[in-house]
Amino acid sequence: MAFSLNVCPPDTPAEDLARSLDQQGYVIIEELAVDLADQARDELLPLVEAAPLGNTNFLGARTKRLGNLFHHSKAAQQLAIHPTVLALCDRLLLPHCARYQLNFSGVMHLLPGAESQQIHRDGWLYPFRHPHPPTILPAMWALSDFTEANGGTQIAPGSQRWAHGRFPTEDEVTSAVMPAGSVLLYTGGVFHGGGENSADVARTGMALQYSLGWLRQEENQYLANPPELAKTYPDRLQRLIGYDFGGPYLGFVHGDDPHRLLEEGAENQDLRTTDALDAAARDMEWLNWGNEEPDPTPSDRRLRDGEHLGS
């Protein structure tokens, strides 16, 4: 099957990007942040080169990986809060959560000779049958050129809408070719994986993944970024990694807003929600999970969605 890649220029309106991402499951925004990508590569590459090779087939015997990026790279901090990416998170994730969060950060450095990674869905982290609304929105930043030869990410366009047990055939997969400074965004239901690197140069990508704020994060951001480190980050990043509520009554510490851990001299105010959070929760689209049928409810006993919160 021949594919024409879903590539957009960096000035494409967020509404158009979100529509395209929803329809095809992925979008490539070419050269969205070239200077920041170059800076991130310079800051992280010495650490990446010193990292061990993967010790499983999935991690790759010719692939080096580095996590816990933010205290190593100012540019990674800025890419994590890039306004174009967050605008897409707003449109794809906020319908089903009051807050979204940074779920994972990591560099994947494919050396020459790296074999193709097993194709998979990131959404398999959570026990929902496919298809379902997005729980995860990964962003793969190209810190070097991604080519078909050097292991550019393999994707199966449209697979976010496939039945749960369907896997892609070889002709349903294509390579996300893009120059350094570009970003590939895809929803958690899209089949993808690192490609085979048959070139004589490494391929370096940085994954920054976002998820619904009521899910457990893949990378433990609180241990990776304890308060003494998180205090040095931009406020928006602090909140994304978890120093914020995940929703009303979700994620408080000492009965209060977790962001106060980072505020010098802040006093505990015993706040477990805010008016803005409550309003966001009321706007959420509630999801069905499982096959259970509810017992009949008397007409005078119906509850509004969310009325039980805080009980």
- Cα–Cα distance for residue pair 152/79, rounded to 1 Å: 20
For residue 16, what are the CA distances in angstroms to 22, 86, 183?
10, 14, 16
Parallel, antiparallel, or unpaired for β 183-186 and 174-175?
unpaired
Residue 3, pLDDT > 80, answer no
The contacts of residue 74 (CB under 8 Å, 6+ apart) are 39, 43
Would you call 240 helix, strand, or coil by DSSP? Answer: helix
Residue % of the chain over a pLDDT of 90: 87
Q: How confident is the model at residue 300 (pLDDT cuts 50, 70, 90)?
A: low
Angle at 272 between CA 269 and CA 278, to 5 degrees: 125
- Cα angle 212, 216, 220 (rounded to 5 degrees) comes to 115
Tell me how far apart the alpha carbons of residues 215 and 63 are, in angstroms, rounded to a whole number. Answer: 28
Q: Tell me the per-residue pLDDT of 167-179, one tens digit each, with 9 for 90 and over.
A: 999 999 999 999 9
* pLDDT tens-place string over residues 195-254: 999 999 999 999 999 999 999 999 999 999 999 999 999 999 999 999 999 999 999 999
Asked if residue 21 has pLDDT above 70, the reply is: yes
Query: What's the chain's average pLDDT?
Result: 93
- Please give the Cα distance from 20 to 272 (Å, whole number): 37
pLDDT band at 301 (very low <50, low <70, confident <90, very high): low
Do 167 and 129 meet the contact criterion of CB atoms below 8 Å apart? no
Mean pLDDT (whole number) for 279-299: 85
Least confident stretch, 117-131, 137-151, 185-199, 293-307: 293-307
